[in-house]
């Protein structure tokens, strides 16, 4: 017959004598991995590869449009009749017609291209109207 020890153990003594089983350790690892992924994707800013590619493509398109707008503005200002064309552009109130004006003027056609760039035309008309 085993003799029971009636003394109460402290938390530190119980912690030191604890021997977890292999299944408890395995489940603790699984729970830790899931918690890490949940925190990373929710608050850590992690994204999937597809989201990353989408964001990079969008950022590239925006940057290309901004650069094309700058080139368009410089081409517009370099034109010999730019002062008269600027007055004519500012007389147009509709943004769609302003974009068409810039496109038909040829300022939104980037070097090496045969057709005008829509983003460049929109950004150029907006920059020139200010």
Question: Contact at 8 Å (CB) between 92 and 101?
Answer: yes
The Cα 65–Cα 53 span in angstroms is: 18
Q: Is 107 exposed, middle or buried (0-12, 13-18, 19+ CB in 10 A)?
A: buried
Of 8-17, 30-39, 65-74, 103-112, give the range with the top mean pLDDT. Answer: 30-39
Question: Contact at 8 Å (CB) between 107 and 76?
Answer: yes
pLDDT band at 45 (very low <50, low <70, confident <90, very high): very high
Question: Contact at 8 Å (CB) between 108 and 68?
Answer: yes
Answer with the residue of higher pLDDT: 75 or 3: 75
pLDDT band at 9 (very low <50, low <70, confident <90, very high): confident
The model's pTM is 0.64
Dihedral-angle region of residue 5 (phi above 0 means left; psi in -120 to 50 means alpha; beta otherwise): beta
Is a pLDDT exceeding 90 seen at residue 6? no
The Cα 76–Cα 129 span in angstroms is: 12
> pLDDT tens digit string along 64-112?
989 999 999 999 999 999 999 999 999 999 989 999 999 999 999 988 8
DSSP-derived letter for residue 5 is: -
Closest CA to 103 of 83, 87, 123: 123
Among 1-10, 56-65, 117-126, the least confident range? 1-10
């Amino acid at each position: 017959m085993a003799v029971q020890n009636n003394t109460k153990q402290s938390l530190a003594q119980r912690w030191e004598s604890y021997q977890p089983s292999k299944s408890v350790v395995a489940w603790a690892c699984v729970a830790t991995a899931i918690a890490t992924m949940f925190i990373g994707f929710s608050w850590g800013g992690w994204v999937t590869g597809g989201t990353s590619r989408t964001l990079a493509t969008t950022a590239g398109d925006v940057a290309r449009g901004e650069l094309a707008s700058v080139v368009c503005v410089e081409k517009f200002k370099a034109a010999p009749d730019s002062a008269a064309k600027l007055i004519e552009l500012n007389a147009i109130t509709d943004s769609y017609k302003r974009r068409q004006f810039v496109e038909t003027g040829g300022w939104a056609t980037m070097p090496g291209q045969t057709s005008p760039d829509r983003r460049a035309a929109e950004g150029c008309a907006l920059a020139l109207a200010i």
